[in-house]
Amino acid sequence: MTGGSATRGSLTPEQTRRVVSVAADLAREGRTGDLLEFVAHGLPVDTADAAGNTLLMLAAYHGRTGTVRALLALGADPDLRNDRDQSAIAGALFKGADGVVTALREAGADLDAGTPTARVAAALFGAAHLLE
């Protein structure tokens, strides 16, 4: 897990990988309540999988607006990028998740960070109007 953990030291590396995997699946599926239980019990809100995808990024990519808003409310960083330098907002633009794009913009997501940037992704996918 990235970002530190209240449970570090009490879980084996394998158990930690499992917890992160389950949390990542919850983010992808938009199971907000269950995911927030993990965070309430010490999972850092900016936890990332082995490829650097944060819970926020996974929820954003899968169009889970409610989950994105909940993670942002808990302090998730909208500007973290994965190991491929991709941002949550660029992923949401790629997937056509307009509600997620709006939530990330409201949270102050950097439109010029990552590869491609949100501005480039918006132009590529005909969504420039979402960034105006």
| Residue range 81-107: mean pLDDT, rounded | 96
What is the residue range of 125's domain?
A: 13-131
Q: Is residue 7 part of a domain?
A: no
Q: Is position 6 within any domain? A: no
Percent composition of the chain: helix, strand, coil (DSSP 3-state, to 5): 55, 5, 40
Predicted pLDDT of residue 132: 87
Number of H helices, E strands in the chain: 7, 0
Residue 123 included in any domain: yes
User: Tell me, what CATH number does 87's domain have?
Assistant: 1.25.40.20
2-54 pLDDT per residue, tens: 444 444 458 899 999 999 999 999 999 999 999 999 999 999 999 999 999 99
Q: Provide the pLDDT for residue 23.
A: 98
Residue 1 placed within a domain: no
Task: List helix spans (H) across 6-110.
Answer: 13-29, 32-40, 55-61, 65-73, 88-95, 98-106
Number of domains observed in the structure of the chain = 1
In sequence order, the 6+-apart residues with CB closer than 8 A to the CB of 106 are none
Would you say residue 25 lies in a domain?
Answer: yes
